[in-house]
Structure 1
Amino acid sequence: MSELTELTVDLVSIPSHEDASAAGDYIESWLQAETDAAVTRDTAGNVIARRSPDNPTQSLALIGHHDVVPPAPEQFDDDGYVVETRDGRIYGRGTADMKGAVAAAMLAFRDAALSDATELVFASFVGEEIGGTGARAAIDDGFCPEYAIVAEGSTNYSGPGVTDVVVAHRGRRASTLVARGAAAHASEPEAGTNAIYRACDAVDTVRGLSVPTATVLGHEIDGSVVVTEIEGGSAWNVIPDTCTVTIDERTVPGGYAELAQTESIDGVEWDVEQDLPPMACDDEAFAELVLSAAQDAQEGSPQLVTKPHATDAGWLAQNGTTCLVCGASEPGQAHTKNESASIEVVERCYRIYKTSAERF
């Protein structure tokens, strides 16, 4: 078993869906033992390490997260997470999202031969799966590298077996519409105001909204907005006085759907519950540098692509870091009961991260 596979298996075996502290302990201890970097652990639980010359002129960060979503029953036993290695893959909760890529970034951080001008940073955040709480805490504490490669999934995007480089991804804005009316007996509907009817009018408004698009380094990315839940009414013979509608909106850099239009309907209030920012790379030379490293690390032909899912890169980009996303996870792997990562691709990511740091 290679050092990288063994490190991945060790990380994946540590439960981190409710409390990521033990996984953070492992990462912190490994960095302290294996590198001469300055390693810190902030109050949120993020692990941050820096390899820095005396007078760096530029900084590059390799970014991951070590929290995971709850495991399926077959992924957990009395000893912790179940991890299996077979058929060239590592199976277990967090292999794809994203401890395999975290392990690759840890080894690349240790092994990269740096120029005298480059500060190389490694960061593994907590709370990515619950809205980026760790990344936001680090940013609030002043974490702001100039450039970052966020190790979320980018494999099999342009074609099978290829690890691509993501130059933009969508954000997610979750919101609700609350329509209010006046209750009455259903035998006298004119005596009340039907909140469901008002909600339906609001839904019609949502259906008629245009969604923004954006172009990032020549690649187009589209937003979306869709109603996903509706709840209202208390009994078959009562005119409902409230109705709630849930909206899932995927945002693009610089654009939102105009959901505020729904509040032009009497009795309708619109409330934003979560707003995960999108990401757009603003430096073509950086994108080409990492793409070149990806080309040299594999036999396939990686491309610059876009990604539909929000990541911590959105928070970093919003704070001024130029970001790209590149990682081992393939579509359909994260958060599943059969979650796995290809050993070959995890090793490929190690080469991409190491080469990118050395050429930066």
Structure 2
Amino acid sequence: MEPKQALKILTDLISIETVDQNESQVADYLTHLFVPFADRAQLKRISFAPGRDNLLITVGTQGPILGFSGHEDVVAADKDQWQTDPFVGTMRDDRIYGRGASDMKSGLAAMVVAMLDLLASNQPLPGRIRLLATIGEETGEYGANQVVQQGLVDDLAGIVIGEPSNLQLEVTHKGVIDYCVTSVGLASHASKPEAGQNAIWPLILFAQKVHDYFEQATISDPKLGQMTHVLSQINGGEQINSVPAKAQLTGNIRTIPAYSHKQIYQFLDNAIEQINQADDAQLTIEYRYPEPPLPDQSHNKLVLVAQGVLQNKLHLPGEIIAGTGATEACEYVKVPNMPILVCGPGEGISDHQDNEWVSIKNYLLGCQFYEELAWQFWKDQLAK
């Protein structure tokens, strides 16, 4: 494919505003691209909600299946803070600007370009590629969860997630646990605190217990470092001269394999129970979008093949890295023994920021990388 055509696919995707909705428009656009190859590409839509469709595209008819994964949604953009329209892919100074340019419509577009080039070559394909274009990654990885629950990744020999990594090989990343603790008390006039029950104090006790726990959680992962915890929000009370009847606290935990999520839940649940019993409090805890960490994939065959492609074909370092942010790998790890790699053309510098961008050079290299990776991965699988 000519670079001009490949760049148009990316700018077209950026122009589709998919801030936690409208992903079906991306599915429509991608479907249109594969119409000329309808006899050799199988398309399957999986609806999550009205206007929100996952799209699976499989090319090839036999042999090992390599998964390509890219999410269709993006985070919000404040247009007043951008130098260009965030929902118009703008090429300037060897970069493409727009919301999703890095995270991760460039990865999705590069995967699509690679698949279209494979089909256009008219060469017999020794294996298959299945693209998973998913909804809702930025708010809970709903699409990836849906395709995993329906068994649509069970037959993959490996999967590459096109999140921004500057074409480095991200082989592990932290998991995440978000939680919200609600405290219910009893309102009274501040001049008569004995007549009420302060909802804020139990949260302070909880915060101290959690702080002490994470201070003692000193195991460090060789690539990811230590588990981290942030108390991210706290609010409560009605006015300054009243005993607060309700208050809430939220926290964000970035986990590592050394501490299981079950172990962390047990600690947090026990802390809630202890405070409720000892202080006659009414605390409840809710967990939101928990995702496990990606265990180290350094030595799986997919990573080794990808490293060889980057070094020998594209003359790039093929550096192994670790990430702190969660990806859809948190869902794909539920498939036992499936090799997983995070690697995409986005540099990861401007993700979720104003004036988000991807370099044109990196994007076009990404198109080459995914196509060459498919050939080399199939060759390696069939040599077994």
Q: TM-score band (shorter)?
A: 0.7 to 0.9
In structure 2, the CA distance between the partners of 1:75 and 1:99, relative to structure 1 (3 Å rule), is farther
In structure 2, the CA distance between the partners of 1:74 and 1:230, relative to structure 1 (3 Å rule), is closer
Offset of residue 200 of structure 1: 0.6
Question: 2:241: which partner in 1?
Answer: 237
Question: 1:154: which partner in 2?
Answer: 165
- Cα distance in structure 2, aligned partners of 1:80 and 1:231: 33
Question: 1:276: which partner in 2?
Answer: 291
Question: 1:205: which partner in 2?
Answer: 209
Aligned-residue RMSD, C-alpha: 2.6
- Cα distance in structure 2, aligned partners of 1:173 and 1:64: 22
Offset of residue 95 of structure 1: 1.1
In structure 2, the CA distance between the partners of 1:290 and 1:202, relative to structure 1 (3 Å rule), is same
Match of 1:317 among 320, 325, 333: 333
Q: Percent identity?
A: 26
In structure 2, the CA distance between the partners of 1:294 and 1:255, relative to structure 1 (3 Å rule), is farther
In structure 2, the CA distance between the partners of 1:243 and 1:90, relative to structure 1 (3 Å rule), is same
Question: 2:129: which partner in 1?
Answer: 120
Q: After superposition, give the CA deviation of every residue in 1:201-244 in whole Å (9 maximum; x if it has no partner).
A: 111011112347575xx634432111111112222222223221
Q: Any stretches of 5+ residues in structure 2 without a counterpart?
A: 378-384
Checking the alignment, whether the CA contact within 8 Å between 1:205 and 1:261 is kept in structure 2 is no
Aligned pairs (5 A) from 1:102-117: 102-112=108-118
Aligned pairs (5 A) from 1:336-347: 336-347=353-364
Give 3-state SS (helix, strand or coil) of 2:34's partner.
helix
- Cα distance in structure 2, aligned partners of 1:52 and 1:302: 28
- Cα distance in structure 2, aligned partners of 1:37 and 1:212: 50
In structure 2, the CA distance between the partners of 1:261 and 1:15, relative to structure 1 (3 Å rule), is same
Question: 1:13: which partner in 2?
Answer: 15
Question: 2:183: which partner in 1?
Answer: 179
Match of 1:39 among 37, 40, 43: 43
- Work out whether 1:4 is the aligned partner of 2:19: no
Offset of residue 74 of structure 1: 5.1
- Cα distance in structure 2, aligned partners of 1:101 and 1:75: 25
Aligned pairs (5 A) from 1:181-330: 181-210=185-214, 211=217, 215=221, 219-253=223-257, 255-256=260-261, 257=264, 258-263=267-272, 264-266=274-276, 267=281, 268-282=283-297, 283-320=299-336, 321-330=338-347
- Cα distance in structure 2, aligned partners of 1:125 and 1:29: 17
- Cα distance in structure 2, aligned partners of 1:345 and 1:314: 26
Offset of residue 110 of structure 1: 3.0
Offset of residue 119 of structure 1: 2.4
- Cα distance in structure 1, aligned partners of 2:14 and 2:187: 53
Offset of residue 166 of structure 1: 0.7
- Cα distance in structure 2, aligned partners of 1:346 and 1:290: 16
Checking the alignment, whether the CA contact within 8 Å between 2:103 and 2:348 is kept in structure 1 is no
Checking the alignment, whether the CA contact within 8 Å between 2:310 and 2:316 is kept in structure 1 is no
In structure 2, the CA distance between the partners of 1:212 and 1:81, relative to structure 1 (3 Å rule), is same
Question: 1:131: which partner in 2?
Answer: 140
Off by >6 Å, runs of 4+ in structure 1: 113-116
In structure 2, the CA distance between the partners of 1:229 and 1:46, relative to structure 1 (3 Å rule), is same
Offset of residue 171 of structure 1: 2.0
Code of the residue aligned with 2:164 in structure 1: it is: G
Code of the residue aligned with 1:87 in structure 2: it is: D
Q: After superposition, give the CA deviation of every residue in 1:97-121 in whole Å (9 maximum; x if it has no partner).
A: 1111111101222334898653221
In structure 2, the CA distance between the partners of 1:105 and 1:180, relative to structure 1 (3 Å rule), is same
- Cα distance in structure 2, aligned partners of 1:207 and 1:259: 11
- Cα distance in structure 2, aligned partners of 1:29 and 1:317: 31
TM-score by length of 1: 0.87
Checking the alignment, whether the CA contact within 8 Å between 1:277 and 1:318 is kept in structure 2 is no
Give 3-state SS (helix, strand or coil) of 2:108's partner.
helix
- Cα distance in structure 2, aligned partners of 1:117 and 1:298: 22
Greater shift, 99-108 or 314-323, is seen at 314-323
Checking the alignment, whether the CA contact within 8 Å between 2:224 and 2:324 is kept in structure 1 is no
Offset of residue 147 of structure 1: 0.9
- Cα distance in structure 2, aligned partners of 1:151 and 1:344: 16
In structure 2, the CA distance between the partners of 1:20 and 1:255, relative to structure 1 (3 Å rule), is same
- Cα distance in structure 1, aligned partners of 2:25 and 2:99: 15
Code of the residue aligned with 2:372 in structure 1: it is: T
Q: Any stretches of 5+ residues in structure 1 without a counterpart?
A: 156-162
Checking the alignment, whether the CA contact within 8 Å between 2:24 and 2:54 is kept in structure 1 is no
- Work out whether 1:359 is the aligned partner of 2:363: no
